[in-house]
Every structure is written in structure tokens, then in C-alpha cells.
């Protein structure tokens, strides 16, 4: 897979639009997370690296940039998508979640539902590699200098906060924007099958679907662990080993998830993370 094209998109939100959400607490480190993830892509000479911070990180912008990447990538190419911000949950309208809840990214002007992300993966050509990093609550299935062998547990700093929007706030957000969200639910494909996705999509998330993720003043706990394991590119393992080392650092505070959908791709799985 040498000489392949790589595109990345990095999304980080420290706050959201109060006209759409009421009572959502501001975060401190999400823009830092997005900038540092973009720096990794740039250090590896990605062909294109984009960033959307806070007010720029609107639903339409995120969706359009993912679609643009899908149009520009061919088999063997790589799309890296990173998100740092609040996670939330809405009622599952297509009965595909055991919990009865859909996981969401809380974008600036409205949430992006995990089913919508799934639909976007269908737009990527067969053989495209997609790597998603989600530093947010309830992200288990949403598809700094220490070396990797010097792992120490990640810590909650003095004024940490959770990247969590309560069920009450999410319910209020839904009810006050019911027509908008019902319109989204009606457009979502009710029949989901991994065979519908021809790309190979890999996710490493900050936590499980039923867990909160922690925002520290400098970085999210998950992103801080990831950057430490990555060690400015000195990490030499594959995706599973990368996940295992990150998990060593965040557990037991958070339990990251390793999740995949789409077409199996052993060559992708055995690569060093972020590799073009």
C-alpha cells in the first residue's frame, strides 16, 4: 500500500451553540486534541489535512468533508477522522441498538448520529482504509513524551470534567428540535449490514458506549494517552497493539474500545497506525 493517498479531518469542540442545546457545559481541551491529531497527519505528509474547531464544526461541514474525502480516495487510500468533544445519546429509532439508544457526536449546531456516520462509510470505495478516533463519551461503537514501554496510568487532573451531555439535556434538545431530528431519522437506512460498507473502517474510541470520557485542561485523557503511546512516531506496533497500549494507560478510569466494520483487511490491521 505504498504511495497511497491519505486525507484527514480533525474535529474539536470546546463549546456548542446555546440556541440549539441548553445547559451543555463547555470543555477545555478539545481544540488542543484536534490540533495535535492534525500535527500527526502533517508529520506523516498526508496529502490533505483539514480541521474544524468549535463553531466551524457544524453538521453540514463535517458531513460534507467526509463525503469529499470519499470522492477523492481510491482502493488502498486512507481517511483519518478524529473527533474530540461531547458525546450524547438519543432514542434508537431503527431498533439496531441493544441499549435502545443511538450514540452521537455533539456538533456545534446539532448532533451527528452514529447511524448517519455508518451511512457515510457506504460512500467510500471498496478497499479504502478508514481510521476513526473518537475522544468522547459513549463512543465505544461510533465508528506526552514517555515511550510505549514506559506506560503510566492516565490521570484526572484537578479541574477535569466529563465529555458528557446528560440524557435529560439530550431529551430536551430533541424535543425542542423534534421536527429537525425526526426528519433525520426518516432518512436513515433502517436496514444495516456490514456487507453494505466496502471500505475497511477501524475505530479506537475513548471509552465504551455506557461510559463517560474525561476532559482535562490540556488534553482529553484518551488523547493524552494516545499521544504518549504514539511517542512522536516512535511507536512501532500495529492497530491492535496501539489500542492495547492506550488502554493500559487509561484503565481503570476509562476503558477504550476497538471496533471495526466493513470489509476485513489484514494488511490494514497489521500496519503501523496512521500509515499511508
Q: How do the domains of the chain map onto residue ranges?
A: 6-269
What is the pairing mode between strands 200-205 and 257-262?
antiparallel
Look-up of cell digits 470546546: 14
Query: Which range, of 22-36, 57-71, 142-156, 204-218, averages the lowest pLDDT?
Result: 142-156
CATH class of 6-269: alpha beta
Residue 60 CB coordination number (10 Å): 10
> For the segment 117-169, what is each residue's pLDDT rounded down to a tens digit?
989 999 999 999 999 999 987 544 444 222 223 333 444 445 556 676 878 88
Assign 209 a pLDDT band (cuts: 50, 70, 90).
confident
Closest listed residue to residue 75, CA positions, set 265, 275, 270, 273: 265
> For the segment 174-184, what is each residue's pLDDT rounded down to a tens digit?
899 999 998 98
- Residue-by-residue DSSP string for 131-185: EEEEESTT-TT------GGG-------TT-EE-B--HHHHHHHHHHTHHHHHHHH
Would you say residue 41 has pLDDT above 70?
Answer: yes
Give the C-alpha separation, 212 to 189, whole Å. 28
> For the segment 239-258, what is each residue's pLDDT rounded down to a tens digit?
999 999 999 998 777 889 99
Give the C-alpha separation, 15 to 269, whole Å. 34
Inter-axis angle of helices 59-72 and 114-121, to 10 degrees? 20
| 152 vs 71: which has the higher pLDDT | 71
Amino acid at each position: 500500500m505504498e504511495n497511497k493517498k491519505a486525507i484527514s479531518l480533525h474535529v474539536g469542540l470546546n463549546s456548542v451553540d446555546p440556541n440549539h442545546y441548553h445547559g451543555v457545559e463547555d470543555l477545555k481541551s478539545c481544540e488542543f486534541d484536534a490540533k495535535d491529531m492534525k500535527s500527526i497527519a502533517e508529520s506523516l505528509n498526508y496529502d490533505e489535512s483539514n480541521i474544524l474547531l468549535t463553531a466551524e464544526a457544524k453538521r453540514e461541514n463535517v458531513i460534507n468533508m467526509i463525503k469529499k474525502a470519499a470522492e477523492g480516495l481510491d482502493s488502498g487510500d486512507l481517511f483519518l477522522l478524529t473527533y474530540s468533544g461531547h458525546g450524547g445519546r438519543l432514542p434508537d429509532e431503527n431498533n439496531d441498538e441493544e441499549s435502545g439508544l443511538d450514540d452521537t457526536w455533539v456538533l456545534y449546531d446539532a448532533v451527528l448520529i452514529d447511524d448517519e456516520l455508518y451511512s457515510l462509510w457506504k460512500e467510500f470505495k471498496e478497499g479504502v482504509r478508514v481510521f476513526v478516533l473518537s475522544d468522547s463519551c459513549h463512543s465505544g461503537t461510533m465508528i506526552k513524551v514517555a515511550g510505549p514501554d514506559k506506560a503510566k496510568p492516565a490521570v484526572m487532573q484537578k479541574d477535569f470534567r466529563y465529555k458528557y451531555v446528560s440524557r435529560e439535556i439530550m431529551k430536551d434538545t430533541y424535543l425542542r428540535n423534534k421536527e429537525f431530528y425526526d426528519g433525520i431519522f426518516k432518512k436513515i437506512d433502517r436496514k444495516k449490514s456490514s456487507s453494505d460498507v466496502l471500505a475497511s473502517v477501524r475505530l479506537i474510541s475513548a471509552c465504551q458506549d455506557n461510559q463517560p470520557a474525561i476532559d482535562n485542561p490540556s488534553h482529553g485523557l484518551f488523547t493524552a494517552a494516545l499521544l504518549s503511546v504514539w511517542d512522536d512516531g516512535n511507536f512501532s506496533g500495529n492497530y491492535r497493539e496501539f489500542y492495547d497500549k492506550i488502554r493500559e494507560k487509561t484503565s481503570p478510569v476509562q476503558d477504550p474500545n476497538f471496533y471495526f466494520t466493513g470489509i476485513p483487511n489484514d494488511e490494514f490491521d497489521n500496519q503501523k497506525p496512521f500509515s499511508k
